[in-house]
């Protein structure tokens, strides 16, 4: 297998992984309720965050590690591995932050409904 083919394979696996995480988060069902999810009334736009920029830095480091590698190696591991770690950690943090925001909005909606 050539370096290019292996690079495309790694990129494809990473894309499928990220899409799988997104699908798992989006397809969770509400406990005791209907299977379809709609955003709670308090959810509009996400709070400002540096997570998208950090995710882009991780992706850039992965790409740089794959593009600027020593002859005979798949990647520059000193650049690609930290980039992959940053990318994965940031993706997990971003998904968790979205889940916390969703739960917070549901709690505030639930509290508002029981106050009145």
Provide the domain count of the chain.
Answer: 1
Q: Give a yes or no: residue 95 inside a domain.
A: yes
Whether this prediction's pTM lies above 0.85 is answered by no
Number of other CB atoms surrounding residue 64 within 10 Å? 15
DSSP 46-77: PPP-SHHHHHHHHHHHHHHHHHS--TTSSS-H
Q: What does the alpha-carbon distance between residue 54 and residue 82 come to, in Å, rounded to a whole number?
A: 12
What tens-digit pLDDT sequence spans the chain (116 residues)? Answer: 787 788 888 888 888 888 888 777 766 655 555 556 666 665 566 677 889 899 999 999 999 998 888 888 888 899 999 999 999 999 999 888 888 877 777 777 666 666 65
Q: Give a yes or no: residue 96 inside a domain.
A: yes
Q: Give a yes or no: residue 34 inside a domain.
A: no
Q: Give a yes or no: residue 44 inside a domain.
A: no
* Containing structural domain, residue 83: 3-29+49-115
Q: Give a yes or no: residue 82 inside a domain.
A: yes
Of the CA atoms within 13 Å of residue 23, those in its CB half-sphere come to: 6
Which tens digit of pLDDT belongs to each residue from 85-109? Answer: 999 999 999 888 888 877 777 777 6
Q: Give a yes or no: residue 79 inside a domain.
A: yes
Q: Give a yes or no: residue 105 inside a domain.
A: yes
């Amino acid at each position: 297998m050539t370096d290019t083919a292996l690079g495309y394979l790694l990129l494809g696996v990473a894309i499928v992984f990220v899409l799988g995480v997104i699908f798992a988060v989006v397809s969770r069902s509400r406990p005791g309720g209907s299977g379809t999810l709609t955003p709670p009334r308090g959810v509009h736009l996400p709070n400002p965050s540096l997570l998208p920029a950090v995710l882009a830095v991780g992706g850039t480091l992965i790409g740089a590690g794959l593009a600027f590698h020593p002859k005979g190696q798949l990647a520059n591991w000193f650049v690609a591995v930290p980039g992959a770690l940053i990318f994965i950690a940031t993706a997990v943090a971003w998904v968790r932050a979205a889940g916390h925001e969703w739960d917070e909005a549901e709690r505030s909606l639930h509290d508002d409904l029981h106050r009145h």
